[in-house]
Amino acid sequence: MSDSQIQPPLHFDLENFLPFRLHQASEAVSQSFRAVYRDEYGMTRSEWRVLAHLGQYGAMTATEIGHAASLHKTKVSRAVYSLEKRRWLSRAPDQRDRRVQILSLTKSGQHAYSRLGARAQSYNQALADRLGKDRVATIIQLADALQRAVENPGRLG
Amino acid sequence: MSDSQIQPPLHFDLENFLPFRLHQASEAVSQSFRAVYRDEYGMTRSEWRVLAHLGQYGAMTATEIGHAASLHKTKVSRAVYSLEKRRWLSRAPDQRDRRVQILSLTKSGQHAYSRLGARAQSYNQALADRLGKDRVATIIQLADALQRAVENPGRLG
DNA sequence: ACAGATTTGTTACATTTGTGACCATTGATT
DNA sequence: AATCAATGGTCACAAATGTAACAAATCTGT
């Protein structure tokens, strides 16, 4: 009788499956920081990211934010609207391209960014202390390497 | 005149902010593997995760899956229901605790797991080839370290 | 200058997710 | 045994997200 059992040539190892392990680690970290912007400010992750990018880099367009923050344009659009309602963000027309709006933080928005940015920096420092400085540097390097590897042309797998 | 400008003592550095960089890297990787289970099988991430865990570890309860896969119990509940509708999963009562159901893959479910597991393994291998073997090992170690660091008691930041 | 393609951003709709309430069962205390 | 707390799982509702369609503006090539 022939061997009709299903037995794939290479066996799948969940423990070393990068998409899973990376997601798990990153979610654990994200969740633990979420308390700051969500519970204290009632912000979503998208809103916090847009705030952080505008605070960090100054005036940008929605598309630029989306690219820098890896956020889909609808997420950016909604986050911008929310931040605008809070009066943390304002829009200005671009003379050269009337499709575009130059987004920037208002005075209130800059204050909010200052407070949240300080909290974020403090969180990051505490986490870095637990990990060790060398590990943090390695993580950043590997994050870069992963993004490059994935964004490279050519099918994976 | 006094310095009334807002200038926090430590300035926030987005490039080295771990929650952001980790999420960015992990999402890039997750998205690139999503094509396999989503476009080819019409599965959500939760469904794929539950399938992978049952295929990898055999029969488990919903709570056990949730813990092992870092999935909220409602996500597990819904994924289990979907997989059951596909006849890839079946439930059996637990004699000792009638609240609990022992979940396991059906024959079809095992076949699906074989196919998807092979694809996953192949994807992982291709990504590992681009990264280099040493880096992969480091990523896994750091993922462990991050999860431990975050799950440790005591407020971060 | 013009037609068609592309880009920017918003909106509507469907799907997915988070939250809290809930029931049934089990465990702990007395 | 009786009570009360804790656990496993499901459901309904609200919130967030993905998808596709869209209008307005710009760019391209002729």
Q: What is the per-residue pLDDT across B49-88, written as a single tens digit (0 to 9) for each?
A: 999 999 999 999 999 999 999 999 999 999 999 999 999 9
**B124-151 pLDDT tens trace:** 999 999 999 999 999 999 999 999 999 8
Instruction: Provide the token pair at B109.
Output: 């479910």
> Residue B60 pairs with which residues in a beta bridge?
B103
Say if the Cβ atoms of B143 and A8 lie within 8 Å. no
Which chain B residues contact residue A14 at CB under 8 A?
52-53, 56
Query: Residue A58: pLDDT above 70?
Result: yes
What is the spatial distance between Cα A62 and Cα A75, in angstroms, rounded to a whole number?
10
Mean pLDDT of A145-153: 90
Which pLDDT score is estimated for B153? 78
The confidence score (pLDDT) of residue B8 equals 45
Answer yes or no: do B157 and A49 touch at CB < 8 A: no
**Residue A90: strand, helix, or coil:** strand
Whether B114 shows a pLDDT value over 70: the answer reads: yes
**Confidence band for A152, pLDDT divided at 50, 70 and 90:** confident
**Which tops the pLDDT comparison, B126 or A154?**
B126
Minimal CA separation from A106 to chain B, in Å: 13
Cβ distance B6 to A114 less than 8 Å, yes or no, reads yes
Which pLDDT belongs to residue B3?
A: 52
* Predicted pLDDT at A8: 45
Shortest distance between the Cα of A73 and any Cα of chain B, in A, equals 16
d(CA B26, CA A18): 9
Token output for B136: 């992969």
pLDDT at B9: 55
Residue among B6, B29, B134, B135 with most chain A CBs within 10 A, to mutate: B29
Residues in chain A with CB shorter than 8 Å from the CB of B147 are: 24-25, 28
C1’ D3 / CA B154, Å: 35
Give me the CA A95–C1' C2 separation in Å, rounded: 24
> What's the Å distance between residue B107 CA and nucleotide C12 C1'?
42
How do residues A78-135 score in pLDDT, each as one tens digit?
999 999 999 999 999 999 999 999 999 999 999 999 999 999 999 999 999 999 999 9
Q: Write out which nucleotides of chain D lie closer than 7 A to a protein Cβ.
A: 7-12, 15-20, 24-27
Is the separation of the CB atoms in A11 and B132 below 8 Å?
no
Rounded to two decimals, the pTM is 0.91
Q: According to the model, what pLDDT value does residue A51 have?
A: 98
Average pLDDT value for residue range A35-42: 93
Buried b / exposed e over B40-54, threshold 16 CB at 10 Å, is: ebebbbbbbbbbbbb
